[in-house]
């Protein structure tokens, strides 16, 4: 666990599982990359672009808490990675004028680990738990009591002679972030007073993100270049900012330093991000489905072997975007390539042979 200033470099909302060094949009950021991302994060709610409903609701929660002089209700933020869950946790701490403690579900494997974290909190502090759905069960049960009653029971001794000593905690606010809200047990989910779901961004919202980021990076960005980058960013601000920095690199090394449309297209071609935002792994999955397996259905393990990746990588990294774009379908018999996938690859789809979704 770390105690950080509201705008220090923080880990991504969720690690972008990498399929290889050539996969730009989902490569795990190294420390300089993380620092660059942190520098582009908005610092206040009124600077945060997009997510209007969540932003307005969260503003009411925080303003009411400040007016009462009390810690706000616990906050659960859900949604795909890269949409701003970590940034909103930082903003919550900043708006409350308090510090932010940072930890993650995988880092807390025992109830004692969580007890140590909770007992060190000061009044009004914000505890950010990333990937909260991955908390160990004993830690979850301890967190239930801490969130509701602001106390933890410290167990002293072992066996029949063990006893629990209640330890009072100062009021604090838990901000949990998850990409899989359905995995949270109901008792934990019910202890959050406010739940906000972050949706993918529209292209015009991403253009606003890019214009703001270009200003912070002090690089000239044309409107049509911003639109081009936004259209290939998969509805995700984190990806948009990464692509912006790669276009900036191309313009600095091979161009005149100006981020115009031609520079954006040339840079994104170098980094193998096509017009729909698909990268090497995405296209490899589509190519295998269409060319090797005739459009499917094909099992996940077989498909993963065909593209040289682990099944989990294909399922959690490539597949969600391909399904969302209507390129791939999931059926009881396996994955299938839908008509837009054939069209994207410039191939002719075979004649349909009955419904695969029955």
Choose, from 173, 178, 179, 236, the residue flagged as catalytic.
Answer: 179
- One DSSP character per residue, 188-228 reads HHTT-SEEEEPPPPPHHHHHHHHHHHHHHHT--B-HHHHHH
Rg (CA), the chain: 23
Choose, from 238, 246, 248, 283, the residue flagged as catalytic.
Answer: 238
Choose, from 13, 130, 279, 282, the residue flagged as catalytic.
Answer: 130
Contact of 83 with 199, CB cutoff 8 Å: yes
Burial class (CB in 10 A: 0-12, 13-18, 19+), 259: buried
- Catalytic status, residue 179: yes
- Catalytic status, residue 15: no
- State the Cα–Cα distance between residues 322 and 286, nearest whole angstrom: 9
- One DSSP character per residue, 58-76 reads HHHHHHHHHHHTSPPPPEE
What distance lies between CA 202 and its chain's CA centroid? 16
Contact of 132 with 161, CB cutoff 8 Å: no
Would you call 101 helix, strand, or coil by DSSP?
A: strand
Choose, from 26, 41, 55, 85, the residue flagged as catalytic.
Answer: 85
Burial class (CB in 10 A: 0-12, 13-18, 19+), 9: middle
- Catalytic status, residue 86: yes
Burial class (CB in 10 A: 0-12, 13-18, 19+), 204: exposed
Closest CA to 181 of 70, 77, 289, 310: 77
Contact of 171 with 123, CB cutoff 8 Å: yes
Choose, from 86, 103, 173, 236, the residue flagged as catalytic.
Answer: 86
283 is written with which tokens? Answer: 């296209």
- Catalytic status, residue 130: yes
- Catalytic status, residue 158: no
> Which amino acids are annotated catalytic?
85-86, 130, 179, 238
């Amino acid at each position: 666990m770390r105690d950080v200033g509201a705008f220090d470099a923080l880990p991504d909302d969720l690690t972008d599982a990498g399929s290889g060094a050539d996969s730009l949009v989902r490569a795990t950021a190294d420390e300089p990359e993380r620092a660059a991302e942190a520098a582009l994060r908005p610092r206040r709610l009124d600077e945060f672009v997009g997510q209007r409903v969540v932003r307005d609701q969260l503003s009411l929660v925080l303003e009411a808490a400040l007016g009462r002089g009390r810690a706000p209700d616990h906050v659960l933020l859900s949604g795909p990675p890269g949409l701003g869950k970590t940034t909103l946790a930082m903003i919550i701490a900043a708006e409350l004028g308090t510090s932010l403690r940072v930890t993650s579900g995988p880092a807390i494997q025992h109830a004692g680990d969580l007890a140590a974290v909770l007992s060190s909190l000061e009044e009004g502090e914000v505890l950010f738990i990333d990937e909260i759905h991955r908390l160990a069960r004993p830690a979850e049960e301890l967190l239930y009591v801490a969130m509701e009653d602001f106390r933890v029971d410290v167990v002293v001794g072992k066996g029949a002679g063990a006893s629990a000593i209640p330890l009072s905690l100062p009021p604090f606010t838990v901000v949990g972030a998850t990409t899989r809200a359905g995995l949270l047990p109901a008792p934990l989910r019910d202890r959050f007073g406010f739940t906000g779901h972050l949706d993918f961004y529209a292209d015009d919202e991403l253009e606003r993100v890019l214009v703001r980021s270009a200003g912070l990076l002090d690089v000239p960005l044309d409107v049509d270049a911003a639109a081009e980058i936004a259209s290939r960013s998969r509805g995700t601000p984190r990806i948009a900012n990464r692509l912006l920095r790669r276009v900036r690199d191309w313009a600095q090394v091979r161009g005149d330093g100006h981020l115009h449309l031609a520079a954006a297209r040339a840079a994104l071609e170098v980094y193998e991000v096509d017009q729909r935002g698909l990268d090497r792994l995405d296209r490899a999955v589509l190519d295998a489905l269409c060319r090797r397996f005739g459009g499917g259905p094909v099992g996940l393990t077989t498909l993963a072997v065909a593209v040289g990746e682990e099944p989990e990588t294909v399922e959690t990294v490539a597949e969600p975007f391909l399904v969302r774009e209507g390129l791939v379908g999931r059926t009881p018999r396996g994955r299938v390539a839908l008509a837009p996938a054939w069209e994207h690859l410039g191939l002719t789809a075979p004649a349909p042979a009955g419904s695969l979704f029955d």
